[in-house]
Structure 1
Amino acid sequence: MNTIHLVRHGEVDNPEGILYGRLPNFGLTDRGHEMAARVAKHFDEATTIPVELVASPLLRTQQTMAPLAKALDLPVFDDDRVIEAANSFEGQRLNARRLAEPKNLIRLYNPLTPSWGEPYRQIVLRMRAAMASLRAKLTNYGPGAEGVIVSHQLPIWVTRLSGEGRSLVHDPRRRECDLASITSFTFDSSTLVSVSYESICADLQPGTAVAGA
């Protein structure tokens, strides 16, 4: 058995509340760095210590991974396949009035794909490919080896939905994927045998939803 932990990044400094998506230079808040430190402590004190670390190339995921990489003295491998989902609303501060503008409303014609961003199935395929690459590396360490990927809310959530055999179509407000949470996938060879979820920073979650997370 090998386990891959998908970790969502910590809280992002975004005072204007825009949907930042893949925009550069959106780093963590002080609370986000506290979350990252807790992620490092969690894995550093785990029964099985991760042996491979992978992160999205965006600043917020790199900063979330940094304390863990330091604690374990391991390199971090960047992987574009675990990056945030593409979104045509990127850079905007969204509210009901803005969504009702013709230029935005026309993008909402199909919530099942979704029409305003990267298709859910495409996200799952690239996330699965990244996990398969990591799983192949873990086999070199033998049974029980674990790896960590720091990614983003939507890619992690749809990968979980797929792994659990659920529909990828969902209400974004109902995603179970807190900041700095851990969604773990355990494999027997290439077969997924279990999916679990843990919110290790439940007490540090902001009171309002995080835009563009």
Structure 2
Amino acid sequence: MKAPSVTPCIGRASGWPSAAWPSWSPIPTCRMGPSMRPPSDHAQSSGDPCPLGRLVSAGARMTRITLVRHGQTAHNAAGRFQGWADIALNGHGQAQAAALARRLAGHPVRPTHVLSSDLGRAAQTAAPLAHALGLPVQPSADLREIHIGAWEGLTFAEIEAQDADRFRQWPLVAAPQGESVADLTRRVGAVLDRLALQPTDHAVIVTHGVVITALLCTWLGWDFADAWAGRRGLHHNTALSTLRWADEAVQCETLACAAHLEDLQVGAG
């Protein structure tokens, strides 16, 4: 998979040094339409298999969330699907994590929480940032990448050769022995429910590509199929997106920003 540009900072957070940011225009504030409003208590108890309303509601009880994709691994560089495989960062990924820590440690709204998928590549990405901030990393298996079952460890070409029809529909259709986007959304929602119970000014969540796309679609009102097909909001390794809530509005301050990687040699990701 070809890596996106390392400088897709669409939008800029107020208060950041202007010299550190290219001059992209801010993303307009998005107000929640009827389909994005939190459901009633009755609707929440009805067993909705894809609790998007819960994600919206949980996010709205916080001030700011920064979503970060983990650093590069050998599987990323080779174009191999990882899923739940516990693959460590390679040397380039470790350098990306260090650059990310320098970037976010200087955020004008200092992060108050650092959450991470419990998989090594995410935990290793979160560790330098947490150390710089003097915060613990809160790991959770619920923040893992989408489970890809029988495809784990295979290259994109190998999967397409074995199961082209299903691969073209993934992740809207689950991989063999894998999970659906609805399954993923449900477990990620549980993490946000727990986080929303804590005083949270700025939470950094280090996670994985499909998780980030699902959350951006929920909070910004994107259609998942369209966003995935158009690679909208696709995150390079350690790219970040920051969203800020005010009343019933959410503003995307940065989208898939990887400006902190400008001094690093770009790797596939």
**TM-score calculated relative to the size of structure 1:** 0.81
Cα gap change, 1:112 to 1:27, in 2 (>3 Å): closer
Which residue among 216, 220, 232 is the counterpart of 1:160? 216
Distance 1:148 1:184 in 2: 9
Displacement of 1:163 in angstroms is 1.4
Cα gap change, 1:150 to 1:68, in 2 (>3 Å): same
Question: What is the match of residue 177 of structure 1?
Answer: 235
1:34 aligns with 2:95: yes
Letter matched to residue 114 of structure 2: L
Displacement of 1:109 in angstroms is 8.2
Correspondence 1:120-199 to 2 at 5 A: 120-139=181-200, 145-169=201-225, 170-171=228-229, 173=231, 175-188=233-246, 191=248, 193-195=250-252, 196-197=254-255, 198-199=257-258
Distance 1:109 1:47 in 2: 42
CA contact (8 A) 2:99 2:261 kept: no
Letter matched to residue 161 of structure 2: A
1:7 aligns with 2:45: no
SS in 1 for 2:198: helix
Displacement of 1:65 in angstroms is 0.7
Gaps of 5+ in 2: 1-61
Question: What is the match of residue 43 of structure 1?
Answer: 104
Distance 2:134 2:171 in 1: 42
Deviation string 1:50-83 (CA, Å, 9 cap, x unpaired) is 1111100001011101111111111111111111
Question: What is the match of residue 84 of structure 1?
Answer: 145
Distance 1:31 1:188 in 2: 37
Gaps of 5+ in 1: 140-144
Question: What is the match of residue 93 of structure 1?
Answer: 155
Q: How many residues are aligned here?
A: 199
Which residue among 48, 58, 61 is the counterpart of 2:122? 61
Question: What is the match of residue 82 of structure 2?
Answer: 20
Distance 1:81 1:192 in 2: 26
CA contact (8 A) 2:70 2:121 kept: yes
Provide the alpha-carbon RMSD of the alignment: 2.5
SS in 2 for 1:100: helix
**TM-score calculated relative to the size of structure 2:** 0.65
% identical equivalent positions: 26
Distance 2:79 2:167 in 1: 21
